[in-house]
Amino acid sequence: MATTVLPPPADDPEALREHLLEFPDNRLLIELCGEYDRNLAEIEQKLGVQILRRGNQLVIIGDDASAGEAVNVLTTLYERLESGRSVESGDVDRELRMDSTGGSYAGDQLEMFRGGRVEIKTRKKTVEPRTDAQKSYVENLFQNELAFGIGPAGTGKTYLAVAVGVNLFVDGHVDRIILSRPAVEAGEKLGYLPGDMKEKVDPYMQPLYDALNDFLPGKQLAKLIEEKRIEIAPLAFMRGRTLSNAFVVLDEAQNATTMQMKMFLTRLGEGSRMVITGDRSQVDLPRGVPSGLSDAETLLKKIDGISFNYFTSKDVVRHPLVARIIEAYDAADPAKQG
């Protein structure tokens, strides 16, 4: 693939430059552009450039910085296609968000990332971080035995943690995956809900089941749950246990009390890794009951071996409206002003 930068016309030196990209495989170029050129349209909108297609060439028109970034994005996506992988809308979004400078990783379990892109391989799919904050978070999930992911809904905190857990489980680094959430009651008492205890608490755990279903075939997942090699349980069920050789995730940790958080953190056993995720803006605890997530953040911030990663509305990877909704609520929150 060749790249050429054309100078502005002699009679108009202030005109924007044209960056010319030539692609050897026209079939891959069609995939790169996307249906009805939607991938090109997304790049144009995000970077403020114009992209014209001429045969097996793309012409990017814009200032040097924006056009150069568009060239990098298109080149990376085309190389992805050359390697036999597809390019979906999420892949375009990731390249537009990510810092192109890359990064280095340490530790034996991070060898798969050295000198390349961050990819989390599971049985059903390969997951790639879509923002720099997500990339840093994944790095810390592999590097640290205890990691916190704090930020608004839709930023991939739990999804990426479960993906890393499945990766380590499949590769034999841990023997079990344990996923937990506080079963905070919202209007109905658990005892009054129909069914046995599992049927009562499963609705609280459903987001964790959803994530696992993305990474493991259904029959294998059911077998692993039956064998207790994958456990999904309310936070209250963790008391008295020592969790060894396991990848442990506590989701919705803002709804754990201080005592529950201390209880959970002290379950960490030999050969285990623990991830705590939460959103400080969605505390459902009774008024006057402090959140264990906030207390843990204050108390553990300076302890070596514990990482804290923070996400903002810019890291939301759901519908674009979600990011704008979060920003609107943040703007109206007096605690976040100034």
CATH 3.40.50.720 fits 108-336, yes or no: no
Domain positions in the chain are 2-97, 108-336
pLDDT value of residue 1 = 57
> Under CATH, what is the fold of the domain 2-97?
Ribosomal Protein S8; Chain: A, domain 1 (3.30.1370)
pLDDT value of residue 68 = 86
Q: What is the pLDDT along the chain (338 residues), one digit of tens a residue?
A: 556 665 555 555 555 778 888 888 889 999 999 888 898 998 998 888 899 988 888 999 888 888 888 898 898 898 888 888 888 878 888 788 765 434 333 344 445 445 456 788 898 888 888 888 999 999 999 999 999 999 998 899 999 999 999 999 998 899 999 999 887 654 344 454 455 556 656 777 788 889 999 999 999 999 999 999 999 888 888 888 888 999 999 999 999 999 999 999 999 999 999 999 999 888 888 888 999 999 999 999 889 889 999 998 888 876 667 777 877 877 777 666 54
Picking from 276, 247, 253, the residue whose alpha carbon sits closest to that of residue 163 is 247
pLDDT value of residue 186 = 42
pLDDT value of residue 196 = 54
Answer whether 0.75 is exceeded by the pTM.
Answer: no
pLDDT value of residue 242 = 85
pLDDT value of residue 189 = 47
Q: Please give the backbone phi and psi of residue 298, each rounded to the nearest 5 degrees, phi first.
A: -70, -40
The helix or strand, by DSSP H or E, that contains position 310, with its residue range, turns out to be strand 306-310
Buried b (16+ CB within 10 A) or exposed e, 226-263: eeeebbbbbbeebeeeebeebbbbbbbbbbbbbebbeb
Angle between helices 38-47 and 64-82 (to 10 degrees): 150
